Amino acid sequence: MQKPSFLTAQEIVIWDKVEAGEPLTDEEALFLYHSRNLGLLGILATIVRERLHGKIAYYNRNFHIEPTNICIYECAFCSFARKPGEPGGWEYTPDEIESIAASYVGKGVTEVHIVGGVHPKRGIEYYADIIRRIKRILPGIHVKAFTAVELKVMCARSRMSYREGLSALKEAGLDSLPGGGAEIFHPEIRQQICATKASTEEWLEIHRTAHELGIPSNATMLYGHIEKYEHRIHHMRLLRELQAQTGGFNCFIPLKYRKENNALSYVGEVSIIEDLKNYAVSRLYLHNIPHLKAYWPMIGRHTAQISLSFGVDDLDGTIDDTTKIYSMAGAEEQHPVMTTQELEELIRSAGYVPQERDSLYRPIHTATVS
Ligand code: V47
Ligand code: SF4
Of residues 237 and 325, more confidence is placed in: 237
- DSSP-derived secondary structure letter, 226: S
- If you measure from the C-alpha of residue 163 to the centroid of ligand 1, how many angstroms do you get, rounded to a whole number? 24
pLDDT above 60 for 321:
no
Separation CA 294–CA 296 (nearest Å): 6
- If you measure from the C-alpha of residue 15 to the centroid of ligand 1, how many angstroms do you get, rounded to a whole number? 32
- If you measure from the C-alpha of residue 341 to the centroid of ligand 1, how many angstroms do you get, rounded to a whole number? 26
Residue 351: helix, strand or coil by DSSP?
Answer: coil
Residue 328: predicted pLDDT: 78
Which ligand lies nearest the alpha carbon of 298? 1
Residue 316: predicted pLDDT: 84
pTM of the model: 0.96
Residue 333: predicted pLDDT: 66
**Pocket-forming residues, ligand 1, beta carbon under 6 Å:** 77-80, 115, 147, 178-181, 183, 218, 220, 222, 253, 255, 257-258, 262, 295, 325, 329
- If you measure from the C-alpha of residue 125 to the centroid of ligand 2, how many angstroms do you get, rounded to a whole number? 21
**Residue 330 — very low, low, confident or very high, per pLDDT cuts 50/70/90?**
confident
- What is the per-residue pLDDT across 108-138, written as a single tens digit (0 to 9) for each? 999 999 999 999 999 999 999 999 999 999 9
Which ligand lies nearest the alpha carbon of 120? 2
- If you measure from the C-alpha of residue 28 to the centroid of ligand 2, how many angstroms do you get, rounded to a whole number? 33
Atom of ligand 1 nearest to the CA of 180: 10
Residue 30: predicted pLDDT: 98
- The CATH superfamily holding the domain 10-356 is Aldolase class I (3.20.20.70)
Assign 3-class secondary structure to 154-193.
HHHHCCCCHHHHHHHHHHHCCCEECCCCCCCCCHHHHHHH
Report, as an integer, the average pLDDT of 80-96: 95
Measured by CA distance, the residue closest to atom 13 of ligand 1 is 257
Q: Where are the domains of the chain?
A: 10-356
Separation CA 121–CA 157 (nearest Å): 7
pLDDT above 80 for 191:
yes
Separation CA 86–CA 74 (nearest Å): 13
Which ligand lies nearest the alpha carbon of 73? 2
pLDDT above 90 for 317:
no
Element (H, E) at 57: strand 56-60
How confident is the prediction for the chain on average, in pLDDT? Answer: 94
Q: Which of 345, 335, 259 is nearest to 297 (CA)?
A: 335
Residue 312: predicted pLDDT: 98
Which ligand lies nearest the alpha carbon of 299? 1
Atom of ligand 2 nearest to the CA of 71: 1
Burial class (CB within 10 angstroms; exposed 0-12, middle 13-18, buried 19+) of 330: middle
- If you measure from the C-alpha of residue 84 to the centroid of ligand 2, how many angstroms do you get, rounded to a whole number? 14
Phi-psi bin for 268: left (phi > 0), alpha (psi -120 to 50), beta? Answer: left
- If you measure from the C-alpha of residue 76 to the centroid of ligand 2, how many angstroms do you get, rounded to a whole number? 9
User: Best mutation site among 220, 303, 324, 361 for ligand 1, i.e. most ligand atoms within 8 A of its Cβ?
Assistant: 220
- What is the per-residue pLDDT across 333-362, written as a single tens digit (0 to 9) for each? 666 678 888 889 999 999 999 999 999 999
Residue 291: helix, strand or coil by DSSP?
Answer: strand
Residue 318: helix, strand or coil by DSSP?
Answer: coil
- DSSP-derived secondary structure letter, 128: H
Quote the percentage of the chain above a pLDDT of 70.
95
Atom of ligand 2 nearest to the CA of 117: 8
